[in-house]
Amino acid sequence: MSLKIVVLAKQVPDTRNVGKDAMTAEGTVNRAALPAIFNPEDLNALEQALRIKEQHPGSTVGILTMGPPRAGEIIRQGLYRGADTGWLLTDRKFAGADTLATSYALAQAVKKIGDVDIILGGRQAIDGDTAQVGPQVAQKLGLNQVTYAEEVLKIEDGKATIRRHIDGGVETVEAPLPVLITVNGSAAPARPCNVKLVMKYKYATCPMERTGEEPWKELFDERPYLTLNQWSVADVDGDEVQCGLSGSPTKVKSVQNIVFQAKESKTLTGTDEDIDGLMKELLDEKIIG
Amino acid sequence: MNNVFVYCEIEGTTVVEVAQELLTKGRKLANDLGVELHAIAVGAGIKGKVEEQILPYGVDKLFVFDDEKLFPYTSAPHTDILVSLFKEEQPQVCLMGATVIGRDLGPRVSSSLTSGLTADCTQLEIGSYDDKKAGKHYDKLLYQIRPAFGGNIVATIVNPDHRPQMATVRSGVMQKALYEGKAKGEVVYPEVAKYVNELSYVVKVLDRHVEAAKHNLKGAPIVVAGGYGVGSKEGFDLLFQLAKELHGEVGASRAAVDAGWVDHDRQIGQTGVTVHPKVYIALGISGQIQHIAGMQDSGIIISVNNDPDAPINQIADYVIHGTVEEVVPKMIKYYKQHSK
């Protein structure tokens, strides 16, 4: 059975280890200074997609991402690992989208791609941390959804058998295709980039990423696979009202930066004297014991 | 019409704790808004078993949907029930736990109703909002307050125009309390077949293993938490010893869990458990913001670290410059000595 697989992936700022360089003098995060990466759990989703492709010869894996032109890098990262194609949904009209407006745009794109058997995505992105887009895309497409997947065990007779995490345990479920699956960060890590594929696809770009001055621009005509699919709202028959800020029921009222509030603290060493004194104090003040 | 609804997640016939925490909060919000608190329970064999776990939290009306096909949870049937019920009842607010189920169900329901959903809220309040662009003023909206950007910012989200305003909240963030006042306590048992499309029972659960919690980290008054500085799985043995002496529980930072030194269910932080102990002893924890989010409301914080610049030291009441191997045995020794 050959399967058409789409992986939903997002380019995100690396919020995981905010180092001193990314902090401003006031102790807040300078978002612009954070490097842009492939959302970690989307890489886990990509790995599951590539494994399914290997089990089902003739299958294809495509990366669908919504973002500014530089998000084309996400498609390249997918191609370097074995994906076959990709689509960049990019349009200023998508700006300001909350999860609902984002899932509307992605669902329109999936409809345009057509005949998709399996959609895989990471459970959540490390900037919004909502885990909402996957299920919302599934609902908009009328698809079954299986979230918190650890492993897609098999695809047989038009059904996917999936091992997933539940609160306090694990579960194995069987869902008919087509299905949308969100994958945990604890699932199998993504394989590394393949050197041959990197050499093949390193100049693959969306038209909007190009300056027109690239020394290798002749290759674009010779090798069509170097031109990535780029879609606007109109290309996916999108209703502008449902995209971007106007399509977002949730609005941000205010944002506060977290600043560490320094506290008055007692500093001690690890000597017997100091620890002895500490335990005695905690006991005397009935803080412990 | 226009009430506050709480979806009460059920494991077998037990209402999960986060649902009771949200009923408590829901009751306060309903009082602020001058409306009723309604609850929804969906499961199998729950009639007669869940009412007493829900009503005492101040519920005015409880809708119980009981059918053997409704447990274990699968997305479509529970979504159908909430969507159909909400179209009838038109709630203004819907809360559910930010559990595996809540984060599977919430978005599917909100997408069906084209309503707004904010996940993992750490605070919920009622307030007003001005949309300057549209020149509109809104009163009595639900402020959905949550961390974002990996926990580096806190955002206040509102849904001015779409209903219901939906929010999910993690276990342990809110406190549960039985309601002292009077509530109607009405219970109804709608006919499940009228609310669920028969075709929705399409995902099959082949196998399921749930283990009872081995510990109660969430409610522990004393937490002994270890981070990357503990160094190894064996290093955590010392922490278990100390926790035993102090009658506390052992927790961990994400780094220690990812390193495989301790079970995932002991992880404290944004993607783990939120704790509010009297005493929090952080051993070899640097204090990434995602970790702090899970323990910042602790009473007394003691940090043992050999990095004087560890961010957690900023919020600690006692900062001990030393290694875990050096300090913990001494803590055990002197605690034993002085507590005789």
Over residues B90-114, the pLDDT tens digits come to 999 999 999 999 999 999 999 999 9
Q: Inter-chain contact B117–A261, Cβ cutoff 8 Å?
A: no
Closest-CA distance of chain B to residue A152, Å = 14
User: Which chain B positions have a beta carbon within 8 Å of A283's beta carbon?
Assistant: 335, 338-339
The whole-model pTM stands at 0.88
Separation between Cα atoms, residue B299 and residue B150, nearest integer Å: 24
Model confidence pLDDT, tens digit, residues A90-127:
999 998 899 999 999 999 999 999 999 999 999 999 88
Q: Inter-chain contact B107–A255, Cβ cutoff 8 Å?
A: no
Burial class (CB within 10 angstroms; exposed 0-12, middle 13-18, buried 19+) of B68: exposed
Q: Inter-chain contact A139–B331, Cβ cutoff 8 Å?
A: no
pLDDT band at A27 (very low <50, low <70, confident <90, very high): low
DSSP states along A83-141: --EEEEE--GGGTT--HHHHHHHHHHHHHHH----EEEEES--TTT----HHHHHHHHH
Tell me, yes or no, if B211 comes closer than 8 A to chain A by beta carbon. yes
Q: Which residues pair with B250 in a beta bridge?
A: B224
Q: Inter-chain contact B322–A269, Cβ cutoff 8 Å?
A: yes
Predicted complex ipTM? 0.89
Query: Is the pLDDT assigned to residue B28 strictly greater than 80?
Result: yes
Mean pLDDT of B267-295: 90
Closest chain A CA to residue B260:
A186
Tell me, yes or no, if B203 comes closer than 8 A to chain A by beta carbon. yes
User: Which chain B positions have a beta carbon within 8 Å of A175's beta carbon?
Assistant: 202-204
Model confidence pLDDT, tens digit, residues A183-206:
998 899 999 999 999 999 999 999
User: Which chain B positions have a beta carbon within 8 Å of A140's beta carbon?
Assistant: 111
Under 8 Å between Cβ of A199 and A216: no
Q: Inter-chain contact A168–B151, Cβ cutoff 8 Å?
A: no
**What integer pLDDT is reported at residue B329 of this predicted model?**
95
Under 8 Å between Cβ of B224 and B241: no
Closest chain B CA to residue A266:
B318
Query: Does residue A115 come out as left (phi exceeding 0), alpha (psi in the -120 to 50 range) or beta?
Result: left
Tell me, yes or no, if B151 comes closer than 8 A to chain A by beta carbon. yes
DSSP states along B30-56: HHHHT--EEEEEEESS-TTTSHHHHGG
Separation between Cα atoms, residue B317 and residue B191, nearest integer Å: 56
Q: Percentage of chain B surpassing pLDDT 70? A: 100
Closest chain B CA to residue A252:
B157
Under 8 Å between Cβ of A69 and A210: no
Closest chain A CA to residue B99:
A167
Mean pLDDT of chain B: 94
Model confidence pLDDT, tens digit, residues A136-167:
999 999 999 999 999 999 999 999 999 999 98
User: Which chain A positions have a beta carbon within 8 Å of B203's beta carbon?
Assistant: 144, 146, 173-176
Q: Inter-chain contact B288–A17, Cβ cutoff 8 Å?
A: yes
Closest-CA distance of chain A to residue B184, Å = 32
How far is it between the farthest Cα atoms of chain A? Answer: 81
**What integer pLDDT is reported at residue A179 of this predicted model?**
98
**What integer pLDDT is reported at residue A20 of this predicted model?**
62
**What integer pLDDT is reported at residue A272 of this predicted model?**
92
Under 8 Å between Cβ of B166 and B120: no
Q: Which residue has the higher pLDDT, A254 or A110?
A: A110
Lowest mean pLDDT among A17-21, A235-239, B74-78: A17-21
Q: Inter-chain contact A139–B107, Cβ cutoff 8 Å?
A: yes
> How crowded is residue A113: how many other Cβ atoms within 10 Å of its Cβ?
18
Mean pLDDT of B15-26: 97
Mean pLDDT of A243-260: 86
User: Which chain B positions have a beta carbon within 8 Å of A167's beta carbon?
Assistant: 11, 16, 99-101, 210
Q: Inter-chain contact A167–B101, Cβ cutoff 8 Å?
A: yes
- Determine the residue among A250, A267, A283, A285 to mutate to test chain B binding: the one whose Cβ has the most chain B Cβ atoms within 10 Å: A250
CA-nearest of A38, A47, A37, A66 to A5 is A47
Mean pLDDT of chain A: 92
Separation between Cα atoms, residue A281 and residue B331, nearest integer Å: 12
For A24, half-sphere exposure in the C-beta direction (CA atoms, 13 angstrom radius) is 10
User: Which chain B positions have a beta carbon within 8 Å of A101's beta carbon?
Assistant: none
- Determine the residue among B96, B117, B143, B300 to mutate to test chain A binding: the one whose Cβ has the most chain A Cβ atoms within 10 Å: B117
- Determine the residue among A104, A162, A167 to mutate to test chain B binding: the one whose Cβ has the most chain B Cβ atoms within 10 Å: A167
Both tokens assigned to B300: 């007394």
